[in-house]
Amino acid sequence: MKKQFLTVSRKARYFQLGKASNNTSTVWVVLHGYGMLSEFFIKKFKKLENDNTLIIAPEGLNMFYLDGKYDRVGASWITKEEREKDIEENIDYLNSLLEVIHNQVGHSNITFNVLGFSQGGATACRWIFNSKIQVKNLILWAGDIPKDTLTVENKNKWESINTHLVMGEKDTLINEKMRAKFIGLVSDYGLKYKLTKYDGDHRVYPDVLTKLAETF
């Protein structure tokens, strides 16, 4: 048996808050976590929307049913099956979306903030370091940084980004031991970051997000 691949074109879905125009100065690209849909995830960012701000929520290319009732659907950025292929396709997808954003806004003087929640954090990091995008703030909310982005070659770009780690004190999916291990990893790399802790579980809290964004 021989495994083979066929390249096909497909449509990728994303959701948007705000209208792209010459007045747009800030763009948020927000990547959901495992088993989520962008249609609902983007609602958590409603408070950030204004005349100068655009929020874009791409959706993972792999959809599946969340339970045996076949009514709830979620999306994923990656699984262990054909992992490298998924990573490559995610990067291509997000780079294509970046071109769309620039074309819609009509200028390149844009401040980009990228937020990756949970599984979306690793996808955000891999995209940033395989893209021409210049990111001002990277927010990793209940997510991690893949080791393959913590390289000597990436040092300068990491240093140009304001990295924010956001962690919930009651997050049972990422316990204290896992958080400490992650902090140790980025500290050993020498990555400068700002840590925000909140009294909550594994989700994005709009009030915590808004307060964090006010510090940018």
C-alpha span between 142 and 178 (Å, rounded): 11
What is the structure's pLDDT at 36? 96
Q: Which helix (H) or strand (E) holds 131?
A: none
Please state, in angstroms and as integers, the Cα–Cα distance from residue 139 to each residue in 63, 86, 158, following that order: 24, 22, 13
Q: Which helix (H) or strand (E) holds 27?
A: strand 26-31
Q: Tokens 């909550």 correspond to what residue?
A: 200
What is the structure's pLDDT at 179? 86
What CATH class has 14-63+70-213? Answer: alpha beta
**DSSP label at residue 11:** -
| Cβ proximity of 111 and 25 under 8 Å | yes
List per-block mean pLDDT (blocks of 10 residues) for the chain, which spans 216 residues. Answer: 87 95 96 96 96 97 88 91 91 95 93 97 96 95 92 95 95 87 90 94 96 95
State the Rg of the chain over Cα: 17
Q: What is the largest CA-CA distance in the chain?
A: 56
What is the structure's pLDDT at 20? 94
C-alpha span between 187 and 203 (Å, rounded): 25
What is the structure's pLDDT at 177? 84
What is the structure's pLDDT at 196? 95
Neighbours of 56 (CB within 10 A): 26
Half-sphere exposure in the Cβ direction for 81 (13 Å, CA): 2
Token reading at 200:
């909550």
Pick the closest to residue 205 from 165, 173, 168 (CA basis).
168
| Cβ proximity of 200 and 166 under 8 Å | no
What is the structure's pLDDT at 175? 82
What is the structure's pLDDT at 121? 96
pTM (predicted TM-score): 0.94
